Chain A
Amino acid sequence: MNKDILIKFNNVTFAYTSYEDEEESVNTPVLTDFSLEIPRGQFIAVLGHNGSGKSTAAKMMNALLVPQSGSVTVDGIPTSDESRIIDIRRKVGMVFQNPDNQLVATIVEDDVAFGPENLGVPPEEIRVRVDNALKAVGMYEFKDREPHKLSGGQKQRVAIAGIITMQTDCIVMDEPTAMLDPRGRKEVMDTIKMLCDELGITVVLITHYMDEAVKADRVVVMNDGKICLDGAPREVFSNVELIKSLGLDVPQATELAYRLNKAGFDIDFNVLDEEECAGAIFSLLEVK
């Protein structure tokens, strides 16, 4: 193997069972024969409409759920091995959607220290880790504050700091910006970029925002428990029709160029942001 694979899904199948009454049960398949390899250090965005299986896949990455068939390994450890669950959780941390549901302490720095305390890290070491993590997410001056008085974006950054202190290899984030306003979203996205670029942490970001997905190294699009597109953002978002048919969006800039192209104008629609789109339109208008 030439790449260092951190998380590996191997033909994973998973279904939720609901019981209508005592006799009858209904199986709802969520993941079917799902395979995915996430190399160490990659920033990967996962897209898919609600119910496409992306949150289920995310929960498998740190053994909150285990596959019913197939396997998930984290740094080579199968998540089905209950004796190694602690090791897995030390390698992969999670941040959830609702900033109000994941802070446990009454003071910011206590909350950030919660993870390493549980891991039995010596107190002096915890102090250093907490300070560094809060500085990394830009929340150091808030260390004595009460978490419930922070904005949504600040709360999410505290939650991220709490995982940084555990020194995990990977952070999985399940729609961390869905409940935030534009300012909070930007704060969290800047923090995610910092995690990848400066700390070298592997990031799995589940999102409905296409402008966030374009910032990733790789975009995976899920539908009906399967992967239907997988590649660099530019490659993935060039499949405008397919993505739209899955109930998802492409960035506005891509869509505008694509529609002009479709209408018969000679424009390159392989653009991801406003600058590239304006450039493409400019050259379309220049030619003549």
Chain B
Amino acid sequence: MAAVISVKNLTYEYNVGTPSCSVALDNVSLDIEKGDFIGLIGHTGSGKSTLVQHLNGLIKPTKGTVYLNGNDIHSDKKATREARFKVGLCFQYPEYQLFEETVAKDIAFGPRNMKLPENEITSRVVKAAMYVGLKKEHMEKSPFDLSGGEKRRAAIAGVMAMEPEVLIFDEPTAGLDPKGRDVILSLVKNYQTQTGCTVILVSHSMEDIARVADKVIVMNKGRVEMYGDVKTVYADCDRLSAIGLNVPQVTKVFSLLKEKGLEFSDDVYTVEQGFNVLSEYLKRRDLND
């Protein structure tokens, strides 16, 4: 598979030339394969937000290059502009960026900036609203009259309406209640399955990532600490705990069982997986009796 985004020897320093100069990214190289659903995890200050802001050209690298479909996104203005449209970035608390008179106008803001024809804009707004589950009656309301969860979905629709090749979500479930969190995760997953686009989801929750992502990038101190499929990365629980990540409670249950001499498969991070592993084991045992 071809890499849609390729990062080569990327270094970024904040406040260069001042006493508070600090390295946010330290010689990072990685490829993002087309169509992957990638979870990006790391504690605050690990460099994950700085990394994603490089991917659509919001930040210019101190050293190194970001390639989008093989082209350096900073080679000229046109390439940078293209990166802005092809790599959609949905910030933390995106609902704070709603500003238009109506929800429909707000969602249309991105496509309109892309100078698309009016009928194309309309059809994209309708499609994006559908993906996030906003109904017709929401569309003519002021975004500020929506509930918290609806506001966030409207903001996400605004990024989806640009139909980017790569869609990046920076902690899309932060501050939501459990139900709101489940809604956002499943709509992102559905969107990715239906459009086949590449998704990068930044999260603090290993469990959320296990539920939706195929691969995981773990950032630590400005470097890529681990990158691989969910199973391989999560197998190294001790290393993840050591860098300040929260290992899912179910995974902890299974490592305790292991300590007591009961060994099951290593890849249990959600309640669903834990239940399946245990119930199959018990059923098999009962049959053998």
Query: Smallest CB–CB gap between A107 and chain B, Å?
Result: 17
0/1 per residue, B246-285, Cβ < 8 Å to A? 1011101100110010100000000100110011001001
Contact of B289 among A51, A256, A275, A288 (CB under 8 A): A288
Cβ of B78 within 8 Å of any chain A Cβ, yes or no, is: no
A151 to B274, CA, bound (A): 34
CB neighbours (8 Å) of A232 from chain B are none
Does the CB pair A151–B44 fall under 8 Å?
yes
From known contacts A252-B271, A260-B279, infer whether A274 and B253 are also in contact, taking CB-CB under 8 Å: yes
Q: Which of A19-49 contact B (CB under 8 A)?
A: 48-49
Name which of B180, B249, B260, B275 has the most chain A CB atoms within 10 A of its CB.
B249
Binds B, one of A67-75, A81-89, A174-182: A174-182
Q: Which of A147-180 contact B (CB under 8 A)?
A: 151-152, 175, 178-180
Binds A, one of B81-89, B171-179, B184-192: B171-179
Does the CB pair A249–B178 fall under 8 Å?
yes
Name the residue on B nearest A280 (C-beta). Answer: B253
Does the CB pair B149–A50 fall under 8 Å?
yes
0/1 per residue, B190-230, Cβ < 8 Å to A? 00000000000000100100000000000000000000000
From known contacts A97-B175, A281-B257, A282-B257, infer whether A182 and B180 are also in contact, taking CB-CB under 8 Å: no
State how many residues of chain A have any CB contact under 8 Å with chain B. Answer: 39
Q: Which of B39-94 contact A (CB under 8 A)?
A: 43-45
Does the CB pair B271–A278 fall under 8 Å?
no
0/1 per residue, B138-153, Cβ < 8 Å to A? 0000000001110000
Cβ of A139 within 8 Å of any chain B Cβ, yes or no, is: no
> Once A and B bind, how many residue pairs between them come within 8 Å at the CB atom?
100
From known contacts A50-B149, A152-B44, infer whether A178 and B248 are also in contact, taking CB-CB under 8 Å: no
A190 to B127, CA, bound (A): 46
A251 to B256, CA, bound (A): 17
Contact of A282 among B244, B248, B262 (CB under 8 A): B262
Cβ of B245 within 8 Å of any chain A Cβ, yes or no, is: yes
Does the CB pair B253–A260 fall under 8 Å?
no
Cβ of A128 within 8 Å of any chain B Cβ, yes or no, is: no
CB neighbours (8 Å) of A273 from chain B are 249
Does the CB pair A248–B147 fall under 8 Å?
no
CB neighbours (8 Å) of A281 from chain B are 253, 257, 262, 278
Does the CB pair B207–A252 fall under 8 Å?
yes
A226 to B11, CA, bound (A): 53
Secondary structure type dominating chain B contacts: helix
0/1 per residue, A193-228, Cβ < 8 Å to B? 000000000000000100100000000000000000
Cβ of A183 within 8 Å of any chain B Cβ, yes or no, is: yes
Cβ of A120 within 8 Å of any chain B Cβ, yes or no, is: no
Does the CB pair A181–B204 fall under 8 Å?
yes
Does the CB pair B257–A278 fall under 8 Å?
yes
Query: Smallest CB–CB gap between B202 and chain A, Å?
Result: 11
Name which of A50, A251, A284 has the most chain B CB atoms within 10 A of its CB.
A50
Contact of B279 among A248, A251, A265 (CB under 8 A): A265
0/1 per residue, B155-187, Cβ < 8 Å to A? 000000000000000000011111110000000
Query: Smallest CB–CB gap between A222 and chain B, Å?
Result: 11
Cβ of A259 within 8 Å of any chain B Cβ, yes or no, is: yes
Does the CB pair B178–A278 fall under 8 Å?
no
CB neighbours (8 Å) of A208 from chain B are 176-178
Cβ of A253 within 8 Å of any chain B Cβ, yes or no, is: yes
Contact of B177 among A49, A180, A278 (CB under 8 A): A49
CB neighbours (8 Å) of A63 from chain B are none
Name the residue on A nearest B252 (C-beta). Answer: A274
A288 to B179, CA, bound (A): 39
4 further interface pairs, Cβ-Cβ under 8 Å (given A182-B246, A260-B278) = A252-B207, A274-B250, A277-B249, A281-B253
| 4 tightest A-B CB contacts, nearest first | A247-B179, A278-B256, A182-B246, A252-B249
Q: Can you give 13 contacting A-B residue pairs, CB < 8 Å?
A: A48-B177, A49-B178, A178-B175, A179-B174, A179-B175, A182-B245, A208-B176, A252-B248, A252-B249, A253-B250, A260-B275, A260-B282, A284-B282
